[in-house]
Chains A and B, each alone.
Chain A
């Protein structure tokens, strides 16, 4: 995962619909300050932002790898 836009697309696919994506997005935003539905240009390829978002998603059970593979810890 090299950009937040890539992460957004993966999370949207994993969550399945806009309502569920919004739930996860709010949780991520409140933990990291990154809104995946409104990614700022300065954030999109910022290494720290990407690291924090991936960490928050991992806590939530969504593991996204740099290769783009994904898993959902059910």
Chain B
């Protein structure tokens, strides 16, 4: 794959920050992207991501820099759990960009909405735009802490500030440890916040969200839930695990992580599932989810489809929507999909599917677009 004009990706397994910076610079220069307007990178929890961000910011002082730790990365040219991937956009793709960190805790108190409002104010001021009235040339990227369960509040706050502006992204990872994640924007970092990047595009773009699931036809209603802890206590008036097991025709004792992974639930909107992944059965039969679901909502029990079919269809749809071949993409791929890739040796086909364009992405602890979602392949594609 030859990098498209105005965009370049990079991948390295170098651990030391200076080495990462130099590897990125070489890759970007090889694609003639020497003065990018935005650089987005994804690293492992073992990298000094803050230092990488600082070095990139120093090397490219006019670029907005965004990054986070991950559960694995991929880009044109490579993929691994412990590498670093990046994508740089020149002015022909991204006219202007501005990055900021939203801090969810201040003076010992958690206030996600306040942190997001402050950061969004910085973005609006930085680009001189009214976020409630931005034109279709703008799109945002959001990288949010992945272990404190604040993605729903973050996405709601983004929507409340700018309901017509899409922020697309994912939850930072820490290679499966589930202890601490980091996000980076320019020279700032946070282990309890979100890194935001607002892009004024010079190229057409489209947002894509897909998964490898379809409805089984079995529906369940959330009759008792605690959204703050992402816990569903009852489905159809019964202990959640009992009703869930019955919907699949299996004994409740058989419900485990493997079943959950193969049969998440989805909120259906216009025929498209917005996946909520069950995580584990709690004492008493409640189910802890990876994403909140409100009482009264109806969900469909899902079943797997071919892993790559949905992804390839999404790529084809994106090209149609762009009216031209995809030139570049930033991809957010759920760790649950990565675990299936691990189990079924799908890493090669996964990256091959993305080989027609310049790409960088990471395996997430959840995806973001209009809300927090699970188990998806979510992306921004550029023409």
Contacts and interface: CB of A to CB of B under 8 A. Distances in A.
Interface of A: 15, 20, 22-27, 29-33, 35, 37-38, 48, 59-62, 73-74
Secondary structure of the A side of the interface? helix
Contacts of A60: 159-160, 163
Contacts of A25: 269
Contacts of B245: none
B166 A33 contact: no
Secondary structure of the B side of the interface? loop
B23 interface: no
Given A30-B274, A33-B296, A33-B298, A23 B133 contact: no
Contact of A26 (B130, B132, B371): B371
A26 B166 CA distance: 11
B132 A61 contact: yes
B294 interface: yes
Given A35-B269, A59-B160, 4 more contacts: A24-B163, A31-B156, A33-B298, A60-B160
Nearest to B292: A30
A27 B132 contact: no
A17 to B, nearest CB: 10
Contact of B166 (A23, A35, A59): A23
15 contacts: A23-B163, A24-B163, A26-B274, A26-B371, A27-B159, A29-B267, A29-B269, A32-B294, A33-B296, A33-B298, A37-B270, A59-B156, A59-B159, A59-B160, A61-B132
Interface residues of B, number: 19
A61 to B, nearest CB: 6
B164 interface: yes
A9 to B, nearest CB: 18
A48 to B, nearest CB: 8
A61 B370 contact: no
Interface in B4-27: none
Contacts of B371: 26-27, 30-31
B370 A38 contact: no
B156 to A, nearest CB: 7
Contacts of B163: 23-24, 27, 60-62
Nearest to B294: A33
Interface of B: 130, 132-133, 156, 159-160, 163-164, 166, 267, 269-270, 274, 294, 296-298, 370-371
Contact of B160 (A29, A48, A61): A61
A33 B370 contact: no
Contacts of B294: 31-33
A22 B272 CA distance: 13
Given A20-B164, A60-B163, A74-B132, A27 B370 contact: yes
Contact of B370 (A20, A23, A35): A23
The 3 closest A-B pairs by CB, nearest first: A33-B297, A30-B371, A60-B163
A27 B371 CA distance: 7
Contacts of A22: 270
B164 A23 contact: yes
Contacts of B132: 61, 73-74
Nearest to A48: B296
Nearest to B370: A26
Contacts of B270: 22, 35, 37-38
A27 B324 CA distance: 29
Contact of B164 (A15, A30, A32, A38): A15
Contacts of A37: 270
B226 to A, nearest CB: 16
B158 to A, nearest CB: 10
B168 to A, nearest CB: 12
Contacts of A61: 132, 160, 163
B323 to A, nearest CB: 16
A37 B270 CA distance: 8
A38 to B, nearest CB: 7
Contacts of A23: 163-164, 166, 370
Nearest to A74: B132
A33 B160 CA distance: 17
A10 B133 CA distance: 18
B132 to A, nearest CB: 5
